[in-house]
Amino acid sequence: MNKLRVAVVGCGSITKYRHAPEYAFNEHVELVAFCDLVRDRALLMAEQYGGNVYTDYLEMLQKEKPDAVSVCTSNINHAPVSIAAAKLGIHVLCEKPMATSEADGLAMIAAAKENGAILMVGHNQRLMPAHVKAKEILNAGDLGRVLTFRTAFGHPGPEDWSIEGKEGWFFQKDKAIVGAMGDLGVHKADLIRWILDDEVTEISAFVETLHKEDTKVDDNAICILRTRKGTIGTLTASWTYYKGEDNSTILYCEHGVIKIGTDPHDQVIVEKTDGSVQKFAVGAIATNTGQTHSGVIDAFITSIVTKTPPPISGEEGLRSLKVILAALESAASKKLISIS
């Protein structure tokens, strides 16, 4: 079969470390174009992986007419780029958070549906081996119902990760809209929804800028969540874990506990109330400094090739986004917010 012609919009670190190399690794893909407002960034990617260089994504979409596109821009541009591509029938893989408002998320979903395009959101935490294993254990039923949980995602901030450093869009309110909660919190909101097979229905949150200077976006968030099935738990997102990254989740069940990402060697540990302990070394969870194959690009391409729904649809991305938006509303209003 002919290879899928793929273009990438936005050539920052997420493209450099994940999208571009993972597309290049996939046998079904030909990278045909890279687009970035800073031409040299796109040129650097094109020199390594091939393809044409653009600074205007609309021009790129019209001239190249790719089969699929990755949207790796600042948060505020996720929706307009995705919608423009979808309206041309181009399949879209959009980085998280998929949008900065529910209305934009809905518009992205509608554009894809109306034009026969696949829309997938890059929530890679679902595909990490440790999380897949934990869900498998939970679904086996031996531990019973999850009663409470705590999940956290924190690191020193995007300064060293972002190609633009401290001056990058991550810290610019008009381009990012949301900080640590959108960068990291949305990952954990999506993970909890998926691993529990449940929906968050209520949230109360502190979303603050505690330490990062010269920015109006949040660098810390601590939330209390309740799910439809009655499980309660905490979600933490932070850009001030200066001594190292934490991407851990603990599920406290009726008959034991599942610890995910709490041990550097055994990524999943099950401790049952009967005293037994099981340990699983299934592979490290990816970090900014320790990149692993995310599986997101392969899943997206498989969906296109097999003409099957993507594992992380636009609808799924929107449900996770709504948790983040509700957290922001809670912090601003100092009220418990219900999520429909």
How many other CB atoms are there within 10 angstroms of residue 2's CB atom? 7
Strand ranges for the chain from DSSP E = 4-9, 29-35, 52-54, 68-71, 91-94, 119-121, 146-154, 200-208, 220-227, 232-238, 246-253, 256-260, 268-272, 277-280, 337-338
| The predicted structure's pLDDT at residue 95 | 98
Residues 6+ apart with CB under 8 A from 175: 74, 75, 76, 77, 169
Ranges in the chain, pLDDT < 70: 1, 287-292
| The predicted structure's pLDDT at residue 287 | 67
Encoded tokens for 235: 């979600």
Per-residue model confidence as pLDDT tens digits over 108-160: 999 999 999 999 999 999 999 999 999 999 999 999 999 999 999 999 999 98
**Residue 176 near residue 170 (C-beta atoms within 8 A):** yes
| The predicted structure's pLDDT at residue 333 | 98
- The CA distance from 218 to 182, in Å, is 9
**Residue 34 near residue 54 (C-beta atoms within 8 A):** yes
Instruction: Please compute Rg for the chain using Cα positions.
Output: 20
| The predicted structure's pLDDT at residue 174 | 97
